[in-house]
Structure 1
Amino acid sequence: MSNLVLELSKEEILLLRGTLKADPGKLPPGMIFRSKYQGVTISIYNSGKGMFQGTNNDKVAKELIGRNTPDSEPRMIMGSTQNKTINYNNYSCIGSDEAGSGDYFGPLTVCACYVSKENIAVLKALGVDDSKKLTDTKIVALAEQLVTFLPHSLLVLDNPKYNDRKALDWSQVKMKAVLHNECIKNVLQKIDVDTLDYIVIDQFTPRSTYERYAMGDVPLKNKTCYETKGESKSLAIAAASIISRYAFVKHMDALSKKYHTTILKGAGPKVDLAAAKLIVKHGIDVVDNITKKDFKNRDKALKLVKGYNRK
């Protein structure tokens, strides 16, 4: 399905909402209006972006608001592999990435998503970029738009399950390999594989280790590439990164609300102190249930608690 994204003015949003009949169904988070007109689905988001999905979307946009897609072409980003250079954004790709792997608090989240070459311009228009450059607020706004039209799979390994795998001697690399592989297989079930050019994984381990740890068949090995700093080389990876980061951010927000304090991201000294305060208030068992127990932060936090108790 063809997609067109436009930055809408307040007047254009009011015009569309006044002209079109609203979809009575429940809207996804971040979407404020949805309607169908002449076979084209029109979605309006909190961000002020409007998406027109379907054949002749440009003609429908021109009819409804008097304009269509900008003439500018998407900028192609170079991506390199060990032996060749690929302009991934010239192709239809599945990208995969994860979030939470370096954070003491919170789960490990992994996402794979399919971005057709026709949707590259859409992602550029929405402002999809390396998630490390985006604020949490922007990530939430983008993810809530991306999940409405990109075929994707999101898996969340919560802290109890993470700690259970660690107790079974799984490394974090093995956990990530299994989750990435499962997400990719899930997305392959949602698309026409004949349209797929590449699978691009944000590289966290050598290919041989990934394939050994993935547990089960690694699909389409001949189409699979591993890229360091993949978010800057493939918009499919950038989109997957945003969705996985979104899931992590929402989980952390829920933890902060539950424990009536800001649950910090990362694994630095401030996190040690925050963990120590939670241990004092709730006990180590509660903290173990919302953290990755193998991180050194645990011992550092317990040491801080011990020092506090001596006073």
Structure 2
Amino acid sequence: MSSHTILADRHTIQEMQAYYQDYLISPVPYSQFRAKKPGVVITAYQSGKVLFQGSDIENEVAIWSSMSKEKSQVFLPPESEASTISTKCLIGSDEVGNGSYFGALTVCAVYLDPEHFSLVQQLGVKDSKLLSDSQIKHLAPKIKASIPYHLTTCPPAKYNQVNQKQNANAIKAILHNFTLNQLWQKLNSNQQKACEGILIDQFTPEKRYWEYVSDQPKNCPGPYYFHQKAENIHLAVACASIIARAAFLESLVSLGQPYGIKLLSGAGTAVDQQGRDLVQAHGPQVLNQVAKYHFANTKKILNHNKK
């Protein structure tokens, strides 16, 4: 059996986990995920090391060795750029729900000029991860009433349909691109002229993003900036994350209503139990309507109900 190890950053490992979602198996200690395909087992450790083992590892190693080199060149923009764009008039976009088994995938884009910085700060805008659900639900309508935005909600049934041909990151890229285009069309000519760029909360290498949307219409002229934790760089992304999260939370309620429940967020053991209860009451087809079917949770839920 051959083996090979590469070093990968956190975002590459996240992309690998999404790429191998259908092949995930039980992790080993100190690993972030483990996947098994014919001829190869891939183990990604929390240290950043990714181990490939098996009789047919060359193709898999080639894919991610190349990606690691790309990441070192384009994934982390200079800190000076981050500080410069924080004061620009920008459109910022972010997505919510990609890590949750139940619920929609929501993407929001927000146009924010410096004249409105103080307004959104007074509202209490910051990274949505630092806000409670009740604060999110309170803030989102105020932001929506104050600044231009566009929200796109992709329900699980649609997500699962597209996922038959596109991986998770491709779906996110297409949704970001669509949402940005829709917002751009809402802006008046003065706002379009004032816009100094597009900032996307980065979930995939810039090169991959453009590959994913290569056949999609593009109305926003840019320039485009791709940053990790972009909600901490520009208030436009922070606003977008709040609106997107509020819509995601609403989807947990609306998608659960036909079954008399509120769906749970996340992908843990409580989610598995709720999934098993749903399948027992309504049949396995219910998962296609309320969940992202390619998650490993689906196999655990269905295998348990076979016992």
TM-score of the aligned structures, taking structure 1 as reference length: 0.69
Deviation string 1:38-92 (CA, Å, 9 cap, x unpaired) is xxxxxxxxxxxxxxxxxxxxxxxxxxxxxxxxxxxxxxxxxx8247433334111
* Counterpart mapping for 1:4-15 below 5 A: none
1:305, distance to aligned residue in structure 2 (A): 1.6
In structure 1, how many angstroms separate the alpha carbons of the residues matched to 2:138 and 2:257? 20
Secondary structure at the aligned position of 2:186 is classed as: coil
Query: Which residue pairs with 1:71 in the alignment?
Result: none
Is the aligned partner of 1:174 residue 2:170? yes
On the 8 A contact 2:87/2:234 being kept in 1, the answer is no
1:134 to 131, 134, 139: 131
| Greater C-alpha radius of gyration | 1
Query: Which residue pairs with 2:201 in the alignment?
Result: 202
1:85 is aligned with what amino acid?
A: E
Deviation string 1:73-122 (CA, Å, 9 cap, x unpaired) is xxxxxxx8247433334111100000111111111111101011111111
Query: Which residue pairs with 1:258 in the alignment?
Result: 258
CA gap of 1:249–1:229, structure 2 versus 1, over 3 A, is: same
**Higher helix fraction (1 or 2):** 2
In structure 2, how many angstroms separate the alpha carbons of the residues matched to 1:142 and 1:181? 25
On the 8 A contact 1:129/1:235 being kept in 2, the answer is yes
Query: Which residue pairs with 1:228 in the alignment?
Result: 228
Is the aligned partner of 1:292 residue 2:292? yes
Is the aligned partner of 1:122 residue 2:122? no
Name the % identity.
35
Instruction: Count the aligned residue pairs.
Output: 227
In structure 2, how many angstroms separate the alpha carbons of the residues matched to 1:299 and 1:82? 42
Secondary structure at the aligned position of 2:285 is classed as: helix
Which consecutive residues of structure 1, in runs of 5 or more, have no partner in the other structure?
Answer: 1-79
In structure 2, how many angstroms separate the alpha carbons of the residues matched to 1:237 and 1:222? 16
2:101 to 74, 99, 104: 104
In structure 2, how many angstroms separate the alpha carbons of the residues matched to 1:135 and 1:258? 26
Secondary structure at the aligned position of 2:111 is classed as: strand
Query: Aligned-residue CA RMSD in angstroms?
Result: 1.6
Query: Which residue pairs with 1:56 in the alignment?
Result: none
CA gap of 1:270–1:225, structure 2 versus 1, over 3 A, is: same
1:220, distance to aligned residue in structure 2 (A): 5.0
In structure 2, how many angstroms separate the alpha carbons of the residues matched to 1:199 and 1:239? 14
TM-score of the aligned structures, taking structure 2 as reference length: 0.70
Secondary structure at the aligned position of 2:106 is classed as: strand
* Counterpart mapping for 1:49-198 below 5 A: 81-82=77-78, 84-87=80-83, 88-167=85-164, 169-191=165-187, 192-198=191-197
On the 8 A contact 2:102/2:263 being kept in 1, the answer is yes
On the 8 A contact 1:211/1:218 being kept in 2, the answer is no
Deviation string 1:200-249 (CA, Å, 9 cap, x unpaired) is 00001111111111132445565210010111111100101111111111
CA gap of 1:153–1:252, structure 2 versus 1, over 3 A, is: same
In structure 1, how many angstroms separate the alpha carbons of the residues matched to 2:262 and 2:305? 19
Query: Which residue pairs with 2:281 in the alignment?
Result: 281
In structure 1, how many angstroms separate the alpha carbons of the residues matched to 2:140 and 2:134? 10
